[in-house]
Structure 1
Amino acid sequence: MNITITNEAQEVLQTRIGDKKGHLKIKYETEGCGCVMSGIPVLEYVQETGHDDIVIDTGSLPVLVEKSKQVFYDKNLKIDFSSSSKMFQLKSPGQILNGRMNFFIL
């Protein structure tokens, strides 16, 4: 799996994270979705890694991804930021996985 973070997304992330210590994570959220097949990716900043987390080197900020949830993502992903909606986006060359991705600092 390859993940890149656009310059604009990286700038917004750095501003929001500030000097907090932790890890950027793409979490496949299934709560309230009915079943695991109906999840949606969200962006989190967590203090600790989970037992199922793997680290993906992006060339800038490393990103955690749940190993068991990799099946729901494309091989090449991009984290972007939309200035018009003020939201993060998770994209691949073939689709937008979440065009209005929430970002939570936990």
Structure 2
Amino acid sequence: MNITITNEAQEVLKTKIGGQKGYLKIKYETEGCGCVMSGIPVLEYVTQKGWDDIEISTEAMPVLVEKSKTVFYDKDLKIDFSSSANTFQLKSPSQILNGRMSFIIR
């Protein structure tokens, strides 16, 4: 899996994270979705890795992804920021996985 973080997304992340130590994580959220097949990716900033997390290197910073949920993602992903919608986006060359992705600091 390859993940790219756009320059705009990097700048917004730096502002939101500040000097906190931790990891950027793409979490496949299924809470309230009914089943695991109906999940949606969200961005989190966590203080430690989870038992199922794998670390993907990017030019900007490492990104954690739940190994068991990688089947729901394309091979190439891009974390972007839409200034017009004021939100993060998760995209691949073939689709937008989440055009209004939440960002949560845990």
Which of the five TM-score ranges fits, normalised by the shorter chain? over 0.9
**Any stretches of 5+ residues in structure 2 without a counterpart?**
none
Letter in 2 for 1:91: K
1:2-34 per-position Cα deviation (integer Å, ceiling 9, x unaligned): 000000000000000000110000000000000
Shift of 1:61: 1.0
Unaligned ranges ≥5, structure 1: none
Match status 1:39 vs 2:46: no
Q: TM-score, normalised by structure 1?
A: 0.99
Partner of 2:60: 60
Mapped partners of 1:43, 1:69: distance in 2: 14
Give 1:19's aligned residue. Answer: 19
Identity of aligned residues (%): 78
Task: Look up the match of 1:79.
Answer: 79
Counting matched residue pairs gives: 106
1:29 aligns with 2:35: no
TM-score where L is the length of structure 2 = 0.99
Aligned twin of 1:99: 99
Runs of 4+ in 1 over 6 A off after TM superposition: none
RMSD: 0.3
Other structure's SS at 2:61 match: coil
